[in-house]
C-alpha cells in the first residue's frame, strides 16, 4: 500500500528507488530493504515503535507546557522517529530561549513497553530566566 505498486507492474531500478524513498518518508519504518530478483519484488520492513504516552517533566507553568506541546512534532499514538525526536529537542530548547531561559537542558528517556510501543519522557530543567 505505501509502496505504490501493484501486482504485475513493470519495474525498473528507478521505480525500486522510489519505492524505498516512499516507504522511508512515511516515518512508519525504522529499516526498509527492497530486493528484486527473478521478477519478484520483496520488501522487508522493520516498523518504528508507536508512542503510547508523552510526558513532559520539569515544567509547571501551564503557558509554557502548552507552548511546548504545540512545539513538538511527535505525538502520542504516532510512530517514533529518532531524527524527529532530536529536532523536537532543539525546538524545545529554542522555544525556551525565546522565553528568556537560555540555560535550559532537556533529557529524553525512552521506555520500551510491550507490543512495539514506547513511552517518551522529556525531563526539562529550564534554569534561571536571564535578566538584562
Closest alpha carbon to 119 in 30, 54, 65? 54
CA atoms of 132 and 118, how far apart (whole Å)? 41
Q: How confident is the model at residue 27 (pLDDT cuts 50, 70, 90)?
A: confident
Please report, rounded to a whole number, the percentage of residues in the chain having pLDDT higher than 70.
99
Reported as a single tens digit per residue, the pLDDT across 31-74 is 888 887 888 888 899 899 999 999 999 998 898 989 898 999 99
pLDDT at position 15 is: 81
The CA–CA distances, whole Å, from 101 to 72, 95, 98, 122, 130 equal 18, 9, 7, 16, 6
pTM (predicted TM-score): 0.77
Amino acid at each position: 500500500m505505501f509502496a505504490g505498486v501493484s501486482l504485475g507492474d513493470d519495474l525498473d531500478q528507478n521505480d525500486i528507488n522510489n519505492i524505498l524513498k516512499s516507504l522511508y518518508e512515511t516515518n512508519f519504518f525504522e529499516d526498509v530493504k527492497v530486493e528484486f530478483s527473478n521478477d519478484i519484488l520483496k520488501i522487508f520492513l522493520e516498523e518504528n515503535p508507536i508512542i503510547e504516552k508523552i510526558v513532559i517533566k520539569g515544567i509547571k507553568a501551564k503557558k509554557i507546557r502548552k507552548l511546548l506541546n504545540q512545539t513538538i512534532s511527535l505525538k502520542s499514538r504516532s510512530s517514533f522517529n529518532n531524527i524527529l525526536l532530536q529536532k523536537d529537542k532543539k525546538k524545545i530548547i529554542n522555544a525556551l530561549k525565546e522565553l528568556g531561559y537560555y540555560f535550559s537542558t532537556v533529557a529524553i528517556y525512552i521506555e520500551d513497553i510491550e507490543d512495539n510501543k514506547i513511552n517518551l519522557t522529556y525531563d526539562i530543567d529550564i534554569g534561571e530566566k536571564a535578566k538584562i
